[in-house]
Amino acid sequence: AQSVSQHNHHVILSEAASLELGCNYSYGGTVNLFWYVQYPGQHLQLLLKYFSGDPLVKGIKGFEAEFIKSKFSFNLRKPSVQWSDTAEYFCAVNGGGATNKLIFGTGTLLAVQP
């Protein structure tokens, strides 16, 4: 069965620090990978996605992620975080097929201190 692991449950950073959030997935076939962000009290918004091609994908607000197939990883990065990046971050995998259901990781709560 597909599963997604996010290693960091709670991350606290100061503004301007660099960010890397880990995501590993378990699935033997072709996958589509996503990072979603949920700001306090809001709905999930797409940060970036990987379907195929260049394994380094760039998303909104300066975020990027790298797909490393051999490590089954899709880590999220940002060189310099801002206070407004405080949010919950979810990695998700979609194995396609008839259902296209998203399997989410448990989320990482990022708190950026001004």
Partner 1 sequence: DTAVSQTPKYLVTQMGNDKSIKCEQNLGHDTMYWYKQDSKKFLKIMFSYNNKELIINETVPNRFSPKSPDKAHLNLHINSLELGDSAVYFCASTSGADTQYFGPGTRLTVL
Residues that bind partner 1 (CB under 8 A): 32, 34, 36, 38, 42-46, 49, 51, 88, 90, 94, 96, 98-104, 106-107, 109
- Cβ 80 to partner 1, closest distance in Å? 25
Tell me whether residue 1 or residue 114 sits nearer to partner 1 (CB atom).
Answer: 1
CA 90, 68, 18, 64 dihedral sign is negative
- Cβ 100 to partner 1, closest distance in Å? 5
List b or e across 72-83, with b for residues whose CB sees 16 or more CB atoms inside 10 angstroms. bbbbbebeebee
Tell me whether residue 75 or residue 108 sits nearer to partner 1 (CB atom).
Answer: 108
- Cβ 25 to partner 1, closest distance in Å? 15
Tell me whether residue 17 or residue 102 sits nearer to partner 1 (CB atom).
Answer: 102
Amino acid at 29: G
The closest alpha carbon to 85, from 19, 5, 10, 33, belongs to 19
The count of other CB atoms within 10 Å of the CB of residue 58 is 10
